[in-house]
Amino acid sequence: MHLQRIDHVGYAVEDLEAAIAYHADLYGMSVVHRETSVPEGVREALLAVGESYIQLLEPLTDASPVARFMRRNGGPGGHHVGYGVADVAATLDDLKRKDVRVVDDHPRPGSRGCTIAFVHPKAAMGVLIELVEDPSLS
């Protein structure tokens, strides 16, 4: 098990453009990547903070997991932490060997060409964890 870095912190937001403007105005952050994922039910923007990112996630529909998260939590807020790893498959196997509860049994494609897998919040003190393998860093 070797976590290399905090790749990103994901925020659930109601209005992506407003959230981007807010972070640009108050914190001077700028957008380095945008993507829409129909399977994930989100429109997202990545804002750079040093070598890490803030990932703003706006639900595409009311059925989106991010929309459900906001209903459950009473609104926008911190949604998940993404840990950078060299090998998502190996890290996932390592966690499963330790009987850690995972959301994704197998690695799958994530945004910006990364390979990802989610680990259940029950396995990280209530925080949803995303393992992120960024091919541009290996």
- Contacts with Co ion by CB under 5 A lie at 10, 55, 82, 130
Is 79 catalytic? The answer is no
Which residue's CB is nearer to Co ion, number 55 or number 91?
Answer: 55
Closest separation between CB of residue 76 and Co ion, Å?
15
User: C-beta of 98: minimal distance to Co ion in Å?
Assistant: 22
Instruction: Say how far apart CA 68 and CA 62 lie, in whole Å.
Output: 7
Q: What are 93's two structure tokens?
A: 């196997």
Instruction: Clarify whether 4 is annotated catalytic.
Output: no
Per annotation, catalytic residue among 55, 58, 79, 133: 55
User: Could you confirm whether 58 is annotated as catalytic?
Assistant: no
Q: Which candidate in 8, 23, 79, 133 is catalytic?
A: 8
Nearer residue to Co ion within complex by CB, 10 or 95: 10
What is the closest distance, in whole angstroms, from the C-beta atom of residue 56 to Co ion in the complex?
10
| Sequence-ordered alpha helix ranges (H) in the chain | 16-27, 65-73, 88-97
| Catalytic residue from among 23, 79, 80, 133 | 80
- Give the pair of three-digit tokens for residue 123: 């396995």
Residues carrying an active site annotation: 8, 44, 55, 80, 130
